[in-house]
Structure 1
Amino acid sequence: MPQITPQTKGVFVIAATPFAPDGALDMASIDRMIDFYRDAGADGVTILGVMGEAPKLTPEESLSVIRATLTRAGNMPVIVGVSAPGLAAIRDLGLRAMDMGAAGVMVAPPGSLRTNEQIIGYYGHVVEALGPDVPLCLQDFPLVTGVTISPATLGAIFEAHPSVVMLKHEDWPGLSKITTLRKAEAAGRRRVSILCGNGGMFLPEEIRRGADGAMTGFAYPEMMVQVCRLSAAGDHDRAQDVFDAYLPLVRYEQQQGVGLAARKYTLARRGIIASDTQRKPGQALSSEAVAELDFLIRRQERRLAELG
């Protein structure tokens, strides 16, 4: 299994964890989902993130999801989210995931961190726990974690720990952060891969600022693949046209509280997973929300047909 590196580019789709209506893991849907992401052109997948409802899984279930995903993914790289309150849990799940063939692990900072020194020290402890040979993706998602990491603090972590090879960039607004990080690299700091989240809301701008691709769970990953490929070819106008066709649904998925429900509904509507079930606690869609999603998807399909 290839591992992530500072040169990793493309689309790593954040995968949902499929559940049956009774809340049990739906392993058949995992297989179907991974096949779909590969066919859609994804360069890799990321599991057990926020979208994957990781805190709702038992340790045994987490291992089952990792094993099933890696088996189905074959040579497609899989990043495993291993964020946890304690370093022992991060180390245990992270090393077991790597032993099974993961391409790397992703760790978000705990909400208790308040100062730059604490943040830098925390990632030093993470690298020490996992070992210097485990490729690490640092998840920078202050809207969820409550931890704001400045470009200078990120740079200090990157320089101190070569195993931190990737940044999952989800700051918002965060375009200037990408520019600052890339300017620092141009001035001599080592390169890291930057893949962006936030549902793909700012993907065209992020790529033009220097991001290497996307790492998010938008229910139409083919949009992210097309935008990244067209942008890499220099066709930014066409990339923007494609993005604009999907933007209303991207925006709808970004609602706090119901975003995951909307995303799972669309994945189930497309036949990628069998059920849009979330484990409790989870907010279900109202009939009005379902009607709104169906309306947006119909309009999206019509616009894509017009674009050819």
Structure 2
Amino acid sequence: MKLTPEAAGTFAIAPTPFHDDGKIDDVSIDRLTDFYAEVGCEGVTVLGILGEAPKLDAAEAEAVATRFIKRAKSMQVIVGVSAPGFAAMRRLARLSMDAGAAGVMIAPPPSLRTDEQITTYFRQATEAIGDDVPWVLQDYPLTLSVVMTPKVIRQIVMDSASCVMLKHEDWPGLEKITTLRGFQKDGSLRPLSILCGNGGLFLDFEMERGADGAMTGYCFPDMLVDVVKLSKAGQRDLAHNLFDAHLPLIRYEHQQGVGLSVRKYVLKKRGLLSSSAQRKPGASLTDTAREEVDYLLSRLARVDKRADFEPRTKAAE
């Protein structure tokens, strides 16, 4: 079950569920994990940037990761282990792998600036967690402020045989995917799985540029599963039509600062989270924002019935 460069499909970025009082909601973890499996996700990534990992203490992070792993069964689980120091990174990585994780994800600290600093950091991170741990390189300059060119990414991957996947979240980033796949064609880059995040904002064209799938937390992971499968099947128009129907909600959810609030609000409406709460400090939606999201959902439901929550409400009654 360890992660390999052949990994493909949809890996949902899971939010960390909390009760209104800020305590971890284990029941919602189980419900989310079951849902991801039911809709066809190949994997789940936990304790990512939008998993509110910095708000958890070490024991809580270990408990959340372990619960997702144990519940996931046939799905692969990737655990975000980014930390200010390598000791904490190693501890969570080793514990997660011992619990049955498929691999871990590492993001660069914002302090890195030069290419040498970046490549050195990831060589040291590999040494810290152990070269037997498969890991995912997270490339998200919009949030992390660390710019990694395709050549730098190639160097990191070639330096570390255990780096098996790139989580691609650059914007603009379509040419980066093309360049990396070009490196593979000329033999200068070994096989590498590329899954795309950034809220899924460019997934339709990222798939056409050579991405292997999606790794993001959009509130309709079942749509991501469908778009990935349609793209791989060569059903270009169907993939774009479905993606375009969701694009207004994707755009709204992509707002900095409130995106997680939107995501948790919709996941609660879908019956997957008991509460849309974030652990403090955290944002919350205003009444106006909730009305806007509800309006977007009502429009989406005309095309995609998964956005129509009325049947679920009637069934519950």
Alignment correspondent of 2:33: 34
User: d(CA) in 1 for partners of 2:75 and 2:283?
Assistant: 32
Distance 1:245 1:4 in 2: 32
Match of 2:62 in 1: 63
Residue-by-residue CA offset, 1:236-255 (whole Å, 9 max, x unaligned): 11000111111111010000
Which residue type is aligned with residue 23 of structure 1? G
Structure 1, gaps ≥5 residues long? none
Equivalent-residue separation in structure 1 for 2:109 and 2:304 (angstroms): 41
Match of 2:309 in 1: none
Distance 1:294 1:34 in 2: 25
Work out the CA distance in 2 between the residues paired with 1:193 and 1:237: 25
**Alpha-carbon distance between aligned partners in 2 of 1:24 and 1:280, rounded to the nearest angstrom:** 11
Match of 2:5, as an amino acid?
A: P
Task: Provide the rounded CA distance (Å) in 1 between the counterparts of 2:199 and 2:223.
Answer: 11
Query: What does residue 167 of structure 1 align with?
Result: 166
1:172-211 matches, within 5 Å, as 172-188=171-187, 189-211=189-211
Aligned mates of 1:86, 1:60 — CA distance in 2? 16
1:259-295 Cα offsets, whole Å, 9 max, x none, are 0000000000110010000011111100000000000
Report the counterpart of residue 300 of structure 2 in structure 1.
300
TM-score normalised by L of structure 2: 0.95
In structure 1, how many angstroms separate the alpha carbons of the residues matched to 2:261 and 2:21?
A: 16
Q: CA separation in 2, counterparts of 1:63 and 1:153?
A: 31
Deviation at 1:132, TM superposition (A): 1.1
3-state SS, counterpart of residue 266 of structure 2: helix
Instruction: Please tell me whether the aligned partners of residues 70 and 99 of structure 2 are also in contact (alpha carbons under 8 angstroms).
Output: no
Q: Tell me, what secondary structure is at the counterpart of 1:302?
A: coil
**Alignment match, 2:264:** 264
Question: One-letter code of the match for 1:280?
Answer: K
C-alpha distance in structure 1 between counterparts of 2:273 and 2:4, whole Å: 30
Q: Which runs of 5+ in 2 are unaligned?
A: 306-317
Can you list the C-alpha shifts for 1:134-167, whole angstroms capped at 9, x where unaligned? 0010000111111000000000111111100000
AA partner of residue 286 (structure 1) = T
- Alignment deviations for residues 22-53 of structure 1 (CA, whole Å, 9 cap, x no partner): 00000000000001111111110000001110
- Partner amino acid for 1:226? D
Q: Give distance in 1, aligned partners of 2:42 and 2:83.
A: 26
1:217 aligns with 2:210: no
Partner of 1:150: 149
Once the two structures are superposed, the pairs formed by residues 136-147 of structure 1 within 5 Å of their partners are: 136-147=135-146
* CA shift digits 1:82-109 (9 cap, x unpaired): 0011111111111111111100000000
Structure 1 residue 304: Cα displacement? 2.2
Match of 1:120 in 2: 119
What is residue 91 of structure 1 aligned with on the other side? 90
- Tell me the distance in 1 between the aligned counterparts of 2:75 and 2:223: 19
For residue 288 of structure 1, what is the aligned residue in structure 2? 288
Given the two structures, how large is their TM-score scaled by the length of structure 1? Answer: 0.98
Residue number in structure 2 paired with 1:131 = 130
Per-residue deviation, 1:191 = 1.4
Deviation at 1:199, TM superposition (A): 0.8
- Secondary structure at the aligned position of 2:49 is classed as coil
Q: Residue 231 of structure 2: SS of its match in structure 1? A: helix
Residues 14-25 of structure 1 mapped to structure 2, 5 A cutoff: 14-25=13-24
Provide the aligned C-alpha RMSD in A: 1.0
Contact kept? 2:150, 2:179, Cα under 8 Å: yes
In structure 2, what residue type is equivalent to 1:301? A
Give the aligned partner of residue 47 of structure 1: 46
Partner of 2:312: none
Partner of 2:138: helix, strand, or coil? strand
Distance in 2, Cα, partners of 1:241 & 1:285: 29
Corresponding residue number in structure 2 for 1:74: 73
Deviation at 1:4, TM superposition (A): 1.1
Counterpart amino acid of 2:201? M
User: Which residue type is aligned with residue 255 of structure 2?
Assistant: Q
